[in-house]
Amino acid sequence: MILTYKIKHNRDFSEELQKARKVAEFGIKHRTLSSKDVAHIGLKSMISNQILRKYARNKKVKSVKNIKLTIPNQGIKIDADKHIIRIPCVKLALEYQFPEFEKINQIELGKTFAYVSVTIPENDIQNPTNYVGVDRNTTGHIATVANPETGKVWKLGKKGLHIHTKYKNIRKSLQKKGKYRKVKQIKDRESRIVKDLNHKISKKIVEIAVQNNSGIKLEDLTGIRQTAKQRKSFRYSLNSWSFYQLQQFIEYKAKLQGVEVVYIDPHYTSKSCSRCGLIGNRNGKHFKCPSCGHVDHADINAAFNIAVKDVNVDQSIEERDSIEGNTDIPKEALGSADGSILLS
């Protein structure tokens, strides 16, 4: 699996980035792949080579956007004992925190961050005998996890809705005052807090699955078109990127641990009774089944339903990935251009 880690480099590369832009523009204009042709610009030939490959080779690329300095694998040295990556050609040392890896594919240096593309070894996915169900469409917590084998329930991320509401209100009042720069800052701050929370929750969910020798079942919510009524009930996040980010974090963390993640059709997961399977009454946080008398917290009832529901075999990964067309999700939440997951 390829993951891209984002590391702050604390260096001013504006001069090099300017040269890189010139190299890219030259490449687009003259369609040359030889770094000798751009030697006059004065960028290191190793980097020029990479930039020309990216911009000059593909005739569809007609303009330079978001230029970065691309360092290939050969230009990277790793000091594993000290957890330091060295890039001699620009005299940069980066401290890294990420776990055991097979190799570093490349590093892209932007204005503020280094994007380190790393190949991480994967564990074989174990065929689980049972699943924990994760309900993300919850009334209070970001996720509710249930294990039908043991009856145990975990409620994770209590602060989620609170954070969302708090920052939404701050944004609203700033917007009214016309403080748009501040709005952006607040948005970024919320993103960081939610991202951190999603990392913790996804880690916990995968831990639960490992400890219970189970797979993870999630609802496939990408196919749902939101009606006004649904939108109201999807309090935390269906139309927000944080929701997909959590899903993505669960997927890659599960993959690293060899835990299977499967998706089920979300219809009736919140309306059915997890004890008898018949349709019950859901009212906010409360679920009550008129048929068998079962009473439960609505999220817990849903999580149990998800855990035992059959996997929809027709579902393809492509279908799930169609969320990439959703403009509500910032690019960062979806990963980088090479399809890897972007982390920081």
Q: Under the rule (CB under 5 A), what is the footprint of Zn ion?
A: 273, 275-276, 289, 291-292, 294
* CA distances from residue 111 to 108, 114, 124 in whole angstroms, order as listed: 10, 8, 38
Q: How far is the CB of 292 from Zn ion (least distance, A)?
A: 3
Nearby residues of 179 by Cβ (< 8 Å), 6 or more positions away: none
276 or 337: CB nearest Zn ion: 276
116 or 303: CB nearest Zn ion: 303
Q: How far is the CB of 290 from Zn ion (least distance, A)?
A: 8
142 or 273: CB nearest Zn ion: 273
50 or 301: CB nearest Zn ion: 301
Q: How far is the CB of 287 from Zn ion (least distance, A)?
A: 9
187 or 271: CB nearest Zn ion: 271
Q: How far is the CB of 280 from Zn ion (least distance, A)?
A: 6
Output the 3-class SS for the chain. CEEEEEEECCCCCHHHHHHHHHHHHHHHHHCCCCHHHHHHHCCCHHHHHHHHHHHCCCCCCCCCCCCCEEEEHHHCEEECCCCEEEEHHHCEEEECCCCCCCEEEEEEECCCEEEEEEECCCCCCCCCCEEEEEECCCCCCCEEEEECCCCEEEEECCHHHHHHHHHHHHHHHHHHCCCHHHHHHHHHHHHHHHHHHHHHHHHHHHHHHHHCCEEEEEECCCCCCCCHHHHHHCCCCCCCHHHHHHHHHHHHHHHHHCCCEEEECCCCCCCECCCCCCECEEECCEEECCCCCCEEEHHHHHHHHHHHCCCCCCCCHHHHHHHHHCCCCCHHHHCCCCCCEEEC
Q: How far is the CB of 283 from Zn ion (least distance, A)?
A: 15
261 or 289: CB nearest Zn ion: 289
Q: Around Cβ 57, how many Cβ atoms within 10 Å?
A: 12
Q: How far is the CB of 297 from Zn ion (least distance, A)?
A: 15
7 or 289: CB nearest Zn ion: 289
Q: How far is the CB of 288 from Zn ion (least distance, A)?
A: 9
Q: How far is the CB of 198 from Zn ion (least distance, A)?
A: 33
Q: How far is the CB of 137 from Zn ion (least distance, A)?
A: 20
75 or 148: CB nearest Zn ion: 148
289 or 333: CB nearest Zn ion: 289
* CA distances from residue 152 to 134, 146, 176, 178 in whole angstroms, order as listed: 12, 6, 46, 48
